[in-house]
């Protein structure tokens, strides 16, 4: 089945040729799973994504969510898609069978999630948030809370959200003002206003359970005083059925640039002082609990960037192969020369190769992180567990921010490839771009991700996670030093990797010398630097596998590198050969055009230029 959402050949390459996910079955947790099962799941996911969910994408954008009489309705077409999604058990695809899940490795959840996200991200947020909220209850809830809430959420019968943001507490969550008054029996009266709550109200499910961050009366200011409460829209009767309204009022929904099929709500808790919530976990540990959901959501946002960019890229390639405009370069002076598809023009090919490099680089990154999750959860070897968990921790800010920043830029470049038509709503790329933009803002803005990377993640585990990561890259370089076709590209990666290691040391030194503004002010340039090294490493790792396979095909067919006609025919007729050639081309391109930016970034950072702080506020603009 061909689709313009996800390059399934590339997905298969990541799963089986690069990561060997069949090897995960050596861990007891995944012993019962096999390639046949994985492929069957992905095949079903593709069918659901293409046949059922994707047709709702444009409808969701045009119809939007509606708010009337205090209630939100989603675009009508979402109901059937939601029913099928829930029936397929997709919410708990990677959860423990003990909680009703199917127990598949996280990487299979991510692979199917990429398809659903590309098909309609606004739709996918409803079950995605439900899963995240239910997971909190699974980890921190009492048995009673699990039976009351979690079971129904995992089953898709009830929805879920995450309620952090308030008008005066966006990035600064610690400034929140929502209050919880104890009324005994672990219950609290909740009062306050949360804004921008995704899936905050809708008519897909009979109830919605809100994990709400609030401060118990008298608790200290800042994040230390925050606890988390489960607050259902409707109370739950003793027999588990939906009871009375719980005074959770939707004040409004936002009218926004993208993801219009997902409701973004203002929620007023306790307008009539009749909103009851239950404490989840311990008092004062609300941020720690919520971080579980935020980490899951941050990987989900990376998938959002990947999914939008993947779909935008495939549409752009398709359009560029069909759109006739201008003559071939060799004939450009001849007005009678036949018109060629724009994919023939060097500048269009430049855009497409840049997009391909980032889409495939992001896919490799996100799938590798999911694979690390699987190893860390599968292995019983403590050192291995710590190492792979460390990679997940270190790379989560990169996944979230580079996934969203590059995802958006790929979508924007897709609009450019389409030319004027890209700017119209006749083609889907403008929607991908609009839908993608939010990814760099929510779940902790990208600027905050960069600070998290520099201030927390680099030094985490006494710097061992960062050092292990550098070692991992070094291993790939060492085993490819004499790789003829990719020798120069690996040399460039080696130099970029050394620069990354050096910059880690430089920031540590700045910290020791009390020059905190250098790493803080340069957090984003550093994140860019590290992201480029990371993508470069993954793309070259892939290219080394692809190159070997390509050489084997050429040898088998008796085609040598100087046989141009033979090579042209090979890439035309043999899908594997052209796929592998693409992998090698992308890696060479990335090392030639992107990796040199690593050195430039490092040079800029090391100047310790403080213009950003020296410029007075009045000098930014003269009104
Ligand atoms: C469509 C949509 C859906 C959302 N869904 C949810 C949801 O489901 N649940 C939820 O709780 N919230 C949600 N949000 C809220 C979102 O997480 C916040 O908008 C985001 O955290 C930023 O907060 P803010 O808008 O108040 O911006 P601000 O915090 O005012 O930030 C503005 C700018 O200043 C920067 N900045 C602020 N403080 C610092 C600092 N200390 N250091 C460096 N830079 C800083 C930010 O990076 C940003 O660039 C959603 C928002 C939107 C638009």
What string of DSSP letters covers 191-211? Answer: EEEEEEEETSS-SSSSEEEEE
Looking at the CA of residue 163, tell me the nearest atom of ligand 1: 11
> How far apart (Å, rounded) are the C-alpha atoms in residues 263 and 271?
21
Residue 2 is predicted with a pLDDT of: 81
Residue 332 is predicted with a pLDDT of: 83
DSSP state of 595: T
User: How close is the Cα of 412 to the center of ligand 1, in Å?
Assistant: 22
pLDDT above 80 for 454? yes
Contact 91, 131 (CB under 8 A): yes
> How far apart (Å, rounded) are the C-alpha atoms in residues 110 and 362?
13
> How far apart (Å, rounded) are the C-alpha atoms in residues 327 and 325?
7
Contact 301, 198 (CB under 8 A): no
Residues with CB under 6 A from ligand 1: 161-165, 170-171, 196-198, 256, 264, 438, 441-442, 445, 447-448
User: How close is the Cα of 450 to the center of ligand 1, in Å?
Assistant: 14
Contact 345, 324 (CB under 8 A): no
Express each pLDDT in 265-279 by its tens digit. 999 999 999 999 999
Looking at the CA of residue 199, tell me the nearest atom of ligand 1: 8
CA angle 80, 240, 66 (to 5 degrees): 35
> How far apart (Å, rounded) are the C-alpha atoms in residues 416 and 454?
34
Residue 484 is predicted with a pLDDT of: 83
| Residues in the chain, total | 623
Burial class (CB in 10 A: 0-12, 13-18, 19+), 156: buried
User: How close is the Cα of 113 to the center of ligand 1, in Å?
Assistant: 24
pTM of the model: 0.98
Question: Helix axis angle, 286-322 relative to 429-437, nearest 10°?
Answer: 160
Ligand 1 mutation pick, 124, 130, 165, max ligand atoms within 8 A of CB: 165
Residue 282 is predicted with a pLDDT of: 96
Per the prediction, the chain carries an average pLDDT of 97
Contact 75, 63 (CB under 8 A): yes
Ligand 1 mutation pick, 164, 171, 443, 446, max ligand atoms within 8 A of CB: 171
Report the nearest-CA residue for atom 30 of ligand 1.
Answer: 170
Report the nearest-CA residue for atom 39 of ligand 1.
Answer: 171
DSSP state of 166: B
Report the nearest-CA residue for atom 23 of ligand 1.
Answer: 170
Residue 1 is predicted with a pLDDT of: 57
User: How close is the Cα of 437 to the center of ligand 1, in Å?
Assistant: 13
Report the nearest-CA residue for atom 25 of ligand 1.
Answer: 170
> How far apart (Å, rounded) are the C-alpha atoms in residues 130 and 141?
15
Looking at the CA of residue 164, tell me the nearest atom of ligand 1: 11
User: What mean pLDDT comes out for the span 79-93?
Assistant: 98
Contact 375, 381 (CB under 8 A): no
Question: Helix axis angle, 55-63 relative to 429-437, nearest 10°?
Answer: 70
User: What mean pLDDT comes out for the span 66-72?
Assistant: 98
Ligand 1 mutation pick, 167, 170, 286, 517, max ligand atoms within 8 A of CB: 170
Report the nearest-CA residue for atom 46 of ligand 1.
Answer: 445
Q: Which helix (H) or strand (E) holds 520?
A: helix 517-521
pLDDT bin (cut points 50, 70, 90) of residue 210 is very high
Output the CA torsion sign for 452, 458, 459, 462.
positive
CA 53 to chain centre: 19
**Residue 312: closest CA among 407, 411, 405, 402:** 411
Looking at the CA of residue 256, tell me the nearest atom of ligand 1: 1
User: What mean pLDDT comes out for the span 178-193?
Assistant: 96
DSSP state of 90: G
pLDDT above 80 for 537? yes
Distances (CA, A) of 119 to 48, 94, 114, 308, 425: 9, 20, 8, 9, 17
Ligand 1 mutation pick, 197, 445, 520, 523, max ligand atoms within 8 A of CB: 445
Residue 176 is predicted with a pLDDT of: 97
- Phi/psi at 164 (5° precision): -110, -50
- From first CA to last CA, the distance across the chain in angstroms is 57
Other CB atoms within a 10 A radius of the CB of residue 234 amount to 17
pLDDT above 90 for 443? yes
User: How close is the Cα of 172 to the center of ligand 1, in Å?
Assistant: 8
The proportion of the chain whose per-residue pLDDT surpasses 70, expressed as a percent, equals: 100
Residues taking part in catalysis = 443
pLDDT bin (cut points 50, 70, 90) of residue 623 is confident
Residue 583 is predicted with a pLDDT of: 98
pLDDT bin (cut points 50, 70, 90) of residue 481 is confident
User: How close is the Cα of 299 to the center of ligand 1, in Å?
Assistant: 17
């Amino acid at each position: 089945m061909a689709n313009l959402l996800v390059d399934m050949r590339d997905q298969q390459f990541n799963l089986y040729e690069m990561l060997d996910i069949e090897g995960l079955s050596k861990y007891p947790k995944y012993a019962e799973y096999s390639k046949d099962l994985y492929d069957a799941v992905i095949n079903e996911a593709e069918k659901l994504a293409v046949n059922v969910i994707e047709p709702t994408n444009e409808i969701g954008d045009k119809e939007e969510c509606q708010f009337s009489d205090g209630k939100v309705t989603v675009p009508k077409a979402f109901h059937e898609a939601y029913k099928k999604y829930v029936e397929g058990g997709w919410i708990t695809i990677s959860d423990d069978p003990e909680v009703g899940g199917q127990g598949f490795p996280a990487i299979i959840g991510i692979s199917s999630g990429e398809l659903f996200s590309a098909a309609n991200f606004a739709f996918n947020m409803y079950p995605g948030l439900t899963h995240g909220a239910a997971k909190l209850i699974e980890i921190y809830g009492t048995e009673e809370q699990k039976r009351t809430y979690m079971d129904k959420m995992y089953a898709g019968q009830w929805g879920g959200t995450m309620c952090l943001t308030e008008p005066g507490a966006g990035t600064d969550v610690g400034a929140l003002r929502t209050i919880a008054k104890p009324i005994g029996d672990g219950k609290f009266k909740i009062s306050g206003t949360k804004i921008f709550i995704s899936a905050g109200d809708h008519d897909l499910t009979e109830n919605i359970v809100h994990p709400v961050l609030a401060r118990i009366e008298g608790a200290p200011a800042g994040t230390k005083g925050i606890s988390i409460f489960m607050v259902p829209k409707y109370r739950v009767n003793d027999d588990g059925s939906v009871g009375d309204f719980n005074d959770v009022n939707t004040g409004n929904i936002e009218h926004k640039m993208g993801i219009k099929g997902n409701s973004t709500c203002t929620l007023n808790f306790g307008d009539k002082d009749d909103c009851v919530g239950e404490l989840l976990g311990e008092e004062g540990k609300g941020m720690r609990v919520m971080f579980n959901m935020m980490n899951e959501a941050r990987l989900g946002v990376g998938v959002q960037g990947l999914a939008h960019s993947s779909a935008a890229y495939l549409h752009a390639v398709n359009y560029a192969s069909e759109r006739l405009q201008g003559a071939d370069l060799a004939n450009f002076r001849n007005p009678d020369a036949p018109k060629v598809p724009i994919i023939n023009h060097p500048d269009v090919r430049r855009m497409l190769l840049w997009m391909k490099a980032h889409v495939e680089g992001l896919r490799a990154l996100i799938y590798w992180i999911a694979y690390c999750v699987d190893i860390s959860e599968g292995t019983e070897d403590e050192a291995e567990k710590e190492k792979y968990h460390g990679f997940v921790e270190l790379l989560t800010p990169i996944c979230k921010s580079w996934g969203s920043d590059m995802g958006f830029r790929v979508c924007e470049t897709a609009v450019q490839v389409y030319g004027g038509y890209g700017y119209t709503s006749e083609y889907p790329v403008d929607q991908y771009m609009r839908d993608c933009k939010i990814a760099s803002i929510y779940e902790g803005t990208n600027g905050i991700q960069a600070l998290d990377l520099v201030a927390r993640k680099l030094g985490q585990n006494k710097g061992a996670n960062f050092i292990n990561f550098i070692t991992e890259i070094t291993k790939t370089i060492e085993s490819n030093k004499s790789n003829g076709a990719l020798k120069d590209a690996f040399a460039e990666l080696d130099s970029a990797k050394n620069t990354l290691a050096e910059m880690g040391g430089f920031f540590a030194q700045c910290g020791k010398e009390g020059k905190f503004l250098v790493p803080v002010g340069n957090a984003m340039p550093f994140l860019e630097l590290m992201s480029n090294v990371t993508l470069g490493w993954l793309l070259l790792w892939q290219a080394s596998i692809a190159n070997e396979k390509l050489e084997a095909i050429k040898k088998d067919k008796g085609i040598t590198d100087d046989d141009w006609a033979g090579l042209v025919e090979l890439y035309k007729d043999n899908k594997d050969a052209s796929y592998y050639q693409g992998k090698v081309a992308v890696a060479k391109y990335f090392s030639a055009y992107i990796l040199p930016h690593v050195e430039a970034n490092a040079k800029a950072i090391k100047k310790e230029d403080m213009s950003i702080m020296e410029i007075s506020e009045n000098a930014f603009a003269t009104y």
